[in-house]
Amino acid sequence: MTITSLEGIIAYPVTPFRPDGSGIDEQAFRRVTENLLRSHPAAIAFLGSAGESAYLTDDEWRRAAKVGVETVTGRAPVILGVSELTTAAAVSKARYAKEIGADMLMVIPVSYWKLAENEIYSHFEAIAAATDLPIMAYNNPATSGVDMQPALLVQLVSKIKTVCFVKESSGDLNRMHAIRTLSNGEIPFYNGANHLTLEALAAGASGWCTAAPNLLDDRPHALFEHMRKGRLAEARELFYQLLPILGFIVVGGLPTTVKAGLRLRGLDAGDPRPPLKPLPDAPRRELEGFLATIGVGAISA
Amino acid sequence: MTITSLEGIIAYPVTPFRPDGSGIDEQAFRRVTENLLRSHPAAIAFLGSAGESAYLTDDEWRRAAKVGVETVTGRAPVILGVSELTTAAAVSKARYAKEIGADMLMVIPVSYWKLAENEIYSHFEAIAAATDLPIMAYNNPATSGVDMQPALLVQLVSKIKTVCFVKESSGDLNRMHAIRTLSNGEIPFYNGANHLTLEALAAGASGWCTAAPNLLDDRPHALFEHMRKGRLAEARELFYQLLPILGFIVVGGLPTTVKAGLRLRGLDAGDPRPPLKPLPDAPRRELEGFLATIGVGAISA
Amino acid sequence: MTITSLEGIIAYPVTPFRPDGSGIDEQAFRRVTENLLRSHPAAIAFLGSAGESAYLTDDEWRRAAKVGVETVTGRAPVILGVSELTTAAAVSKARYAKEIGADMLMVIPVSYWKLAENEIYSHFEAIAAATDLPIMAYNNPATSGVDMQPALLVQLVSKIKTVCFVKESSGDLNRMHAIRTLSNGEIPFYNGANHLTLEALAAGASGWCTAAPNLLDDRPHALFEHMRKGRLAEARELFYQLLPILGFIVVGGLPTTVKAGLRLRGLDAGDPRPPLKPLPDAPRRELEGFLATIGVGAISA
Amino acid sequence: MTITSLEGIIAYPVTPFRPDGSGIDEQAFRRVTENLLRSHPAAIAFLGSAGESAYLTDDEWRRAAKVGVETVTGRAPVILGVSELTTAAAVSKARYAKEIGADMLMVIPVSYWKLAENEIYSHFEAIAAATDLPIMAYNNPATSGVDMQPALLVQLVSKIKTVCFVKESSGDLNRMHAIRTLSNGEIPFYNGANHLTLEALAAGASGWCTAAPNLLDDRPHALFEHMRKGRLAEARELFYQLLPILGFIVVGGLPTTVKAGLRLRGLDAGDPRPPLKPLPDAPRRELEGFLATIGVGAISA
């Protein structure tokens, strides 16, 4: 499947683990994926932040990637998240992604020691050289410790042939303004900050990268369609309905809150990996209330 | 003029000083005001941040307020900015505003020593008790040193009868979300962050408080109308056209940049008051280029 | 009194107001000053941050300055704080300070609109040109909204003949390192961050600018002497004894906490000026406990 | 070797890689370690931040740990750094450390998703349950993304039997004040912020955790001894001499700068692992100048 354009919702599954900590719960993983495929996604992105990519062993990452690709079986483009401290590990995963038939990579550099811009550039360059898959450059300083400025993101897309998209999760809309301005509107950028989606779409984002469809089904897609068709009042109304949940999953951490919400919906996707703990009782009940208020029901088997 | 609702552009004149530093240049002040009255404002707000309120002596503030009210002569509601370190000084100005026939106050607490929330509340309460003019509570931490959280702003409006409006200039759109959510959409809030206007209007702002019409005439009004009528694509197009100037005046400081721009347009409104300096040559030429690009011309006499 | 060097404690009186808000309580002001003169100060600094300089009318400032100079009558050098938004007002106060016989100025630029470095420089230059009094350049971004970097502070002292000293209250010890390094150890710098005094003196500060002697009498002087004579263990022991109070007065705001503490010691210096409120009961009792623990008693009449 | 107390310099070797990226350069690793053993260390800490622990594969980490322990052969206590995203991986390394004869662990939690305090606590608890080695709880928010407040650090030491020490690298000296105050001076804390060592020792730090001896030999030990014996003037003099290098290695990243410095001293410890790059020419020459100024020479074979 060649990705020429990409507009709408890019949906992020969580990665379910077996209760004994021994690895991926593949059956639950498939159910999570099937549920997302019903939410009108433009693409499915496995092993992103929501997918606890950083918490998997190398073997687990490869197994999850393979199961993901096989489950989707061409019903949507498949994007795989590559978030590695070393360039060597990122290159190795990029090659594997190509090998198993993924359609695209989403690459976020991760830091322990602060990275200079030319170090980040070389990281992307090496990954791009390892495969011909299109790449989405993903900025999320809060989780990765690396903050790529708009000028660097535009440079990555302009100079490295297969880097084609930008995902911006810093929550600073000025970044989107800058990307659009610096690229004369030619670089498609995607919103990764759930709680600012209404505004990011107003600012011209081509889509919304989100784990929210795990809990909200096709409501994110409906919000996107309202904005795409200029139904601003309807979009605003829907956005403020969804906002309590969108804010909740951002503040509480996606794997923790989305896995709790899936369990509330009857799909047991397990718990996040320690040191992350399951969502405590009080916020879980709060989430339950939010879901009930907007009429979210059980997930069909 | 009773203000029952307020939607659209609230336009902020700068305060011209005589070249010898001896006080207000009243003739230029009237020209600045007349120019704004042609920009389709919902109201004119004198002596705000852009009006260098904090840099005036008490006598100058009173004179400027009086000249402002007399110039407008009912052609638009007149709002006066009250930004004082002490409650006593703020109360005194509020009384004077009522006396000379202003229609509304915009109140921003200013700090040298950090203020607790109950100190801010009492400040507003004392000002409200001194006059029956409606009050807009104005949050702008970057200039005032005081950051009023949404819950406090909502409390001010809910509990103090004449505090009716909120102006949010923090640049954090989550604040607007919170104001709307906490007040069930019943408190009108206005955007004071020029560079985020498109998004603030998407989020439901009732209007835009801005000095931009000094330089952009009725273009801000046109942007507001596009958004009010759901013409999102047109709004976005216009916003990105205006953005270089909107960003420029925020970064360079409103009095400095707007006075420079007015001079470029043939209306000499003087320079900001020292220690503020006139805009240096290089950014002045940059501003000249921005104005030329979007076709801003000379101001008629 | 010519100031050629200045080492030790620079003590900051609060400014007592009459209960009806009608102006300075001169009798209490004199008692506050006498109390400080017993604490072994290297100088007395009126009308600084602790002195609520920013909250006084122009007339009050002048009256307080005059009463201060007359009370000290040469028993210590007198420093006057000049914190003004406009250069014109600062120059006017500097001239008055000279006229009434003050020995030195402490100048802090204050911002509503952000100041560029050349704007700050011109502000100091204009004040220096107005009088021959030596000037201490005072950096305190948290209260003033202006953050002068070490390179600018060193430039002010190097290029403007009467700017001789630096007071650093940012709480960032790297600033002191930089001042010392950039000036080859030749610019005397003073610590204004009470809770980091031990470390600032270790780093080579020539003295400590503090309102603490209002409550702690000559204990700050004893700490300074321990450090000056290399009695590090004794200094550390004393510092940790005083730290609860030093931290308390920083966090709670100097005018609020020091006035509360003076009242606990039997010297009624009134309350801070609204919107600032008196210290609430719970922290007042906490302060009372801290004072009792280290044996601080009543102030003699 | 049982660690009952620990005072002085804890020295951090870098981890040399083979030029082809194929793993640890064991011969260089031994030379780096021997060089540190000559610097009068109180302990040697392998695989900390400076040791690029986060950039090693699991197998490499184990090999490096083993080579480290074998090289030291009891000439100093050996500490191993454990910085893992998952508790399972941290526990596994802790067990291995015990098995190969290390004397102590230094544990830093690392985050992708933000950790709550009880998640951090459980992480330490699980590691402590896996081995009887004493543990140093290490706080370094800038590299790890986790900021452990003093109250949590004190809780870890108070409640978990084998957590005995705290390393504070936040650069906020108030944290050290709080640790001392909250623990009545009973918890030994160590400074990890090279550029604030003088002040941290003044504040009562029991030692200094640093990679600086790689470049500065026994000068850090001399600084510690000056402070221990109350020779404040000598300590300050030496600190300001070393400060250009201490600041340089902090700003430029320890693996990058220390490896560059070792090469300048004739010990080729290779380059940091990509995406980290070798130190560029200009800063390398700057470092060369700093080393020459204080008389640092070649490392003996």
Subunits close to D (at least 3 CB pairs below 8 A): A, C
Tokens of B90: 């703020």
To test the contact with chain B by mutation, choose from A172, A174, A175, A177 the residue with the greatest count of B C-beta atoms within 10 A, namely A177
Q: Is the pLDDT of residue B2 over 60?
A: no
Whether B178 and chain A come into contact, CB under 8 Å, resolves to: no
The verdict on D245 touching C (C-beta cutoff 8 Å) is no
Give, for C45, the enclosing helix (H) or strand (E).
strand C43-46
The DSSP secondary-structure symbol of A53 reads G
Rounded-to-integer distance, Cα D141 and Cα D148, Å: 8
| Chain B residues within 8 A of A199 when measuring between CB atoms | 173, 196, 198-199, 202-203
**Dihedrals φ, ψ of D118, to 5°?**
-70, -25
Respond yes or no: is residue B167 known to be catalytic.
yes
| Angle between helices B58-72 and B87-99 in degrees, nearest 10 | 30
| Minimal Cβ distance to D202: which of C177, C185, C199 | C199
Which residue in A has a C-alpha nearest to residue D254's C-alpha? Answer: A113
Residue B275 to residue C55, Cβ atoms within 8 A: no
Q: Which residues pair with A190 in a beta bridge?
A: A167, A207
The answer to the question of residue A276 being in a domain is no
Q: How many CB pairs under 8 A join C and D?
A: 61
Per-residue pLDDT for A34 more than 90? yes
C46 has which bridge partners?
C80
Count CA atoms closer than 13 A to D202's CA, side-chain side.
31
Size of interface A-D (CB pairs under 8 A): 95
Residue C167: phi, psi to the nearest 5? -110, 125
- Closest-CA distance, D295 to chain A, in angstroms, reads 29
Other Cβ atoms less than 10 A from the Cβ of D161: the count is: 11
The span from the CA of C58 to the CA of B232, in Å, is: 52
Question: CB of B297 within 8 A of CB of B265?
Answer: yes
Q: Which residue of D has its CA nearest to A144?
A: D112
Residue A84, domain CATH: 3.20.20.70
In a domain, B191, yes or no: yes
Determine, yes or no, domain membership for B226.
yes
| Residue A168 CA, distance from chain mean position | 11
Contact C232 D236 (CB under 8 A): no
Q: What is the pLDDT of residue B21?
A: 78
User: Nearest residue on chain A to B232, judged by CA atoms?
Assistant: A230
**What's the pLDDT score for residue C3?**
62
C269 backbone dihedrals φ, ψ, rounded to 5°: -100, 20
**What b/e readout covers C64-103, taking b as 16+ CB neighbours within 10 angstroms?**
bbbbbbebbeeebbbbbbbbbbbbbbbbbbbebbbebebb
Query: Of the listed A12, A96, A138, A190, which one is catalytic?
Result: A138
CA B211, CA B205: separation in Å to the nearest integer? 17
According to DSSP, residue D145 is labeled: S
Nearest-angstrom CA–CA distance, C12 and B293: 55
CB contact under 8 A, C116 and B277: yes
Which chain D residues touch A88 with a CB distance below 8 Å? 21, 273-274
Q: Which residue of D has its CA nearest to A57?
A: D89
Residues of A in contact with D143 (CB under 8 A): 112-113, 145
Q: Which of C86, C120, C122 sits opposite B273 (nearest CB)?
A: C86
Domain membership of residue B12 as a residue range: 8-232
| Residues of chain A with C-beta less than 8 angstroms from the C-beta of D145 | 143, 145
Residue of B nearest to A239 (CA): B203
Q: What does the alpha-carbon distance between residue B142 and residue B13 come to, in Å, rounded to a whole number?
A: 20
Does residue C146 lie in a domain region?
Answer: yes
H/E run at residue A264: helix A254-264
Catalytic position from the list B12, B96, B138, B190: B138
- Can you say whether residue D145 is alpha, beta or left, with left for phi > 0 and alpha for psi between -120 and 50 degrees? left
Report the pLDDT value the prediction gives residue D118, as an integer from 0 to 100.
97
Convert C220-236 to b/e letters by CB count within 10 Å (16 or more is b).
bbbbbbbbeeebbebbb
Q: Is residue D42 part of a domain?
A: yes
What digits encode the pLDDT tens for the residues A57-103? Answer: 999 999 999 999 999 999 999 999 999 999 999 999 999 999 999 99
* Nearest CA among D262, D217, D269, D263 for reference residue D242: D217
- What is the pLDDT, as a whole number, of residue D4? 64
Q: Is residue D67 part of a domain?
A: yes
Indicate the number of domains in chain D. Answer: 1
Q: Would you say residue C243 lies in a domain? A: yes
Residue C289 exposed, middle or buried by CB count within 10 Å (0-12, 13-18, 19+): exposed
* Contact between chains at A180 and B230 (C-beta distance less than 8 A): no
- Inter-chain residue contact B21 with C88, CB threshold 8 Å: yes
Q: Which of C194, C139, C166, C187 is nearest to C12 (CA)?
A: C194
Residues 6+ apart with CB under 8 A from B130: B91, B94, B95
Q: Are D133 and D98 in contact (CB under 8 A)?
A: yes
Low-confidence ranges of chain C (pLDDT < 70): 1-4, 301
pLDDT tens column, D130-180: 999 999 999 999 999 999 999 999 999 999 999 999 999 999 999 999 999
The answer to whether the Cβ–Cβ distance between B240 and A195 falls below 8 Å is no
DSSP code for B17 = B
Residues of D within 8 A of C242 (CB-CB) are none
Say if D and C touch: at least 3 Cβ pairs within 8 Å: yes
- The answer for C 76-95 residues in CB contact with B (under 8 A) is 83, 85-88
- The ipTM, to two decimals, is 0.95
Structure tokens belonging to residue A2: 């060649």
- B152 vs C: CB within 8 A: no
Instruction: Provide the total of helices (H) and of strands (E) in chain B, helices listed first.
Output: 13, 8
- In this complex, do C119 and B276 lie within 8 Å of one another by their Cβ atoms? yes
Q: Distance between CA atoms of D66 and D62, rounded to whole angstroms?
A: 6
Tokens of C134: 């030596």
Segment A251-285, tens digit of pLDDT: 999 999 999 999 999 999 999 999 999 999 999 99
Residue with the two structure tokens 């704080």: C81
Cβ atoms of C270 and C19 closer than 8 Å: yes
Are residues D21 and A88, on separate chains, in Cβ contact within 8 Å?
A: yes
Residues of chain D with pLDDT under 50: 1
Predicted local distance difference test score (pLDDT) of residue D22? 83
pLDDT digits (tens, 9 = 90+) for B43-86: 999 999 999 998 999 999 999 999 999 999 999 999 999 999 99
CA angle B180, B184, B187 (to 5 degrees): 60
Chain-chain contact of D253 with A113 (C-beta, under 8 angstroms)? yes
Catalytic annotation, pick one of D12, D96, D121, D138: D138
Contact C231/D at CB under 8 A: yes
What φ, ψ does residue A179 adopt, rounded to 5°?
-65, -45
Is residue B138 annotated as part of the catalytic site, yes or no? yes
Instruction: Give the whole-angstrom CA distance, residue A132 versus residue D177.
Output: 55
CB contact under 8 A, B88 and C275: no
B112 touches chain C (CB under 8 A): yes
A159 touches chain D (CB under 8 A): no
- Contact of D281 with chain A, judged by CB distance below 8 Å, is answered with no
In a domain, D192, yes or no: yes
Give the pLDDT of residue C1: 47
